[in-house]
Amino acid sequence: MPFFASTAIARAEYDPLTHRLQVWFRNGVGPYTYFGVPESVYLGLLNAPSKGRYFDIFIKDVYGR
Protein backbone atom coordinates (compact mmCIF):
# COMPACT_ATOMS: atom_id res chain seq x y z
CA MET A 1 0.00 0.00 0.00
CA PRO A 2 1.81 3.11 -1.22
CA PHE A 3 1.98 6.27 0.83
CA PHE A 4 2.26 9.46 -1.21
CA ALA A 5 4.18 12.70 -0.74
CA SER A 6 1.08 14.51 -1.95
CA THR A 7 -0.71 17.46 -0.41
CA ALA A 8 -4.11 15.89 -1.21
CA ILE A 9 -3.81 12.09 -1.05
CA ALA A 10 -2.12 10.23 1.79
CA ARG A 11 -2.24 6.71 0.37
CA ALA A 12 -4.04 4.34 -1.95
CA GLU A 13 -4.62 0.61 -2.03
CA TYR A 14 -5.64 -1.39 -5.10
CA ASP A 15 -6.98 -4.92 -5.46
CA PRO A 16 -6.34 -6.17 -9.00
CA LEU A 17 -8.72 -9.12 -8.58
CA THR A 18 -11.77 -6.99 -7.75
CA HIS A 19 -10.61 -3.75 -9.45
CA ARG A 20 -11.29 -1.92 -6.20
CA LEU A 21 -9.34 1.22 -5.34
CA GLN A 22 -9.31 2.70 -1.85
CA VAL A 23 -8.04 6.24 -1.32
CA TRP A 24 -7.19 8.04 1.94
CA PHE A 25 -6.87 11.81 1.93
CA ARG A 26 -4.51 14.07 3.88
CA ASN A 27 -7.40 15.73 5.69
CA GLY A 28 -8.08 12.42 7.45
CA VAL A 29 -11.02 11.48 5.26
CA GLY A 30 -11.21 7.98 3.93
CA PRO A 31 -10.97 5.44 2.84
CA TYR A 32 -13.16 6.12 -0.14
CA THR A 33 -13.68 3.00 -2.22
CA TYR A 34 -14.00 3.12 -6.02
CA PHE A 35 -15.18 0.09 -7.99
CA GLY A 36 -14.37 -1.05 -11.52
CA VAL A 37 -11.05 0.80 -11.66
CA PRO A 38 -8.67 -0.66 -14.27
CA GLU A 39 -5.16 -1.39 -13.09
CA SER A 40 -3.83 1.06 -15.69
CA VAL A 41 -5.69 3.89 -13.92
CA TYR A 42 -4.19 2.86 -10.58
CA LEU A 43 -0.71 2.75 -12.12
CA GLY A 44 -1.37 6.19 -13.59
CA LEU A 45 -2.13 7.47 -10.09
CA LEU A 46 1.11 5.96 -8.78
CA ASN A 47 3.12 7.65 -11.51
CA ALA A 48 1.30 10.98 -11.67
CA PRO A 49 3.35 14.05 -10.70
CA SER A 50 0.21 15.48 -9.06
CA LYS A 51 -1.80 12.74 -7.33
CA GLY A 52 -4.67 15.11 -6.48
CA ARG A 53 -5.02 16.41 -10.02
CA TYR A 54 -4.87 12.90 -11.50
CA PHE A 55 -7.49 11.73 -9.00
CA ASP A 56 -9.80 14.64 -9.87
CA ILE A 57 -9.54 14.03 -13.61
CA PHE A 58 -9.37 10.25 -13.96
CA ILE A 59 -11.03 8.75 -10.86
CA LYS A 60 -13.27 11.03 -8.77
CA ASP A 61 -16.37 11.28 -10.96
CA VAL A 62 -15.55 8.40 -13.29
CA TYR A 63 -15.82 5.33 -11.05
CA GLY A 64 -18.61 4.38 -8.65
CA ARG A 65 -18.22 4.53 -4.92
Peptide bond into 31 cis (omega under 30): yes
Q: What is the pTM of this model?
A: 0.90
Close Cβ partners of 10 (under 8 Å, ≥ 6 residues apart): 3, 4, 24, 25, 26, 30
Q: Kindly report the backbone phi and psi dihedral angles of residue 41, in degrees, each rounded to the nearest multiple of 5, phi listed first.
A: -70, -40
Rounded Cα gap, residues 58 and 23, in angstroms: 13
Rounded Cα gap, residues 38 and 15, in angstroms: 10
Structure confidence by residue, pLDDT tens digits, 9-58: 999 999 999 999 999 999 888 899 999 999 999 999 999 999 999 999 99
